[in-house]
């Protein structure tokens, strides 16, 4: 019996690496406290990641509730 087609989604395909990157983002915020996206990018070493991966992982982390965007765009860990 053939497998059913995957569910339609608007968020795009996730891979193992993005889960790892989301974890790095959440841990950095837990360790360092709230910060702006530019500072967070430096904390996780995102300049060595493939182009666009930091923004993608951050978007997923916010969508999944791992990270909360506060006033002025400040990022903080949820809970």
Interval 24-42: pLDDT, tens: 999 999 999 999 999 999 9
The whole-angstrom separation of Cα 56 and Cα 49 is: 11
Give the pLDDT score at 7: 56
- What are 30-35's contacts with CB under 8 Å, separation 24+? 30/77, 33/76, 34/70, 34/74, 34/75, 34/76, 35/74, 35/75
68 or 5: whose pLDDT is higher? Answer: 68
The whole-angstrom separation of Cα 3 and Cα 79 is: 38
What integer is the mean pLDDT of 42-46? 96
Q: How sure is the predictor about 10, in pLDDT bands with cuts at 50, 70 and 90?
A: very low
Domain regions of the chain by residue span: 16-77
Say which CATH topology domain 16-77 has.
Arc Repressor Mutant, subunit A (1.10.10)
């Amino acid at each position: 019996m053939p497998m059913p087609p995957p569910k339609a989604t608007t968020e795009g395909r996730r891979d193992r690496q993005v889960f790892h990157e989301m974890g790095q983002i959440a841990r950095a915020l837990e360790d360092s406290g709230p910060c702006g996206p530019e500072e967070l990018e430096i904390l996780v070493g995102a300049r060595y990641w493939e182009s666009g991966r930091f923004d993608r992982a951050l978007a997923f982390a916010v969508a999944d509730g791992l990270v909360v965007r506060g006033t002025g765009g400040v990022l903080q860990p949820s809970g």
